[in-house]
């Protein structure tokens, strides 16, 4: 009986030794992945889920007319260019209701400003 007990303990010890390195290895691999991502400072971009076929649209109404943001922006770009091919790197548009009319103020390339009556 003593031999059987010794054999059982040996086999149990061997099984424990074999199982222990595997779990340690997995933990090391997972922690290495976490530290490498943290060490590099690289973050994955957030994934935005949107419904296909649906898009947001903003309409501005004034004096019986509807304006979309794209139309207002394009009008400001055309007013800035004035028939030339000036390059626009960035544009900011502000819309203000003044009396019975809308006025769009724009800033192009963070330096040149102007306005357009819509």
Cβ–Cβ under 8 Å, residues 75 and 116: yes
List the beta bridge partners of residue 67: 60
Mean pLDDT by 10 residues, the chain (118 residues): 60 56 52 51 60 77 87 90 82 89 91 90
Helix (H, G, I), strand (E, B) or coil at 48: coil
Q: Could you tell me which residues come within 8 angstroms of residue 114 by beta carbon, excluding any fewer than 6 positions away?
A: 76, 79, 80, 105, 106, 108
Closest C-alpha to 118, from 56, 62, 42, 39: 62
What pLDDT, on a 0 to 100 scale, did the predictor assign at position 85?
77
């Amino acid at each position: 009986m003593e031999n059987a007990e010794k054999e059982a303990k040996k086999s149990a010890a061997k099984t424990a030794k074999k199982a222990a390195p595997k779990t340690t290895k997995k933990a090391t691999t997972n922690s290495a992945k976490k530290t490498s991502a943290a060490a590099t400072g690289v973050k994955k971009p957030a994934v935005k889920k949107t419904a296909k076929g649906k898009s947001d649209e903003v309409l501005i109404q004034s004096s019986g007319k509807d304006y979309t943001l794209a139309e207002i922006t394009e009008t400001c770009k055309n007013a800035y260019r004035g028939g030339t091919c000036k390059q626009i790197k960035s544009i900011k548009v502000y819309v203000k209701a003044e009396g019975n009319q809308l006025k769009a103020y724009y800033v192009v390339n963070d330096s040149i400003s102007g306005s357009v009556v819509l």
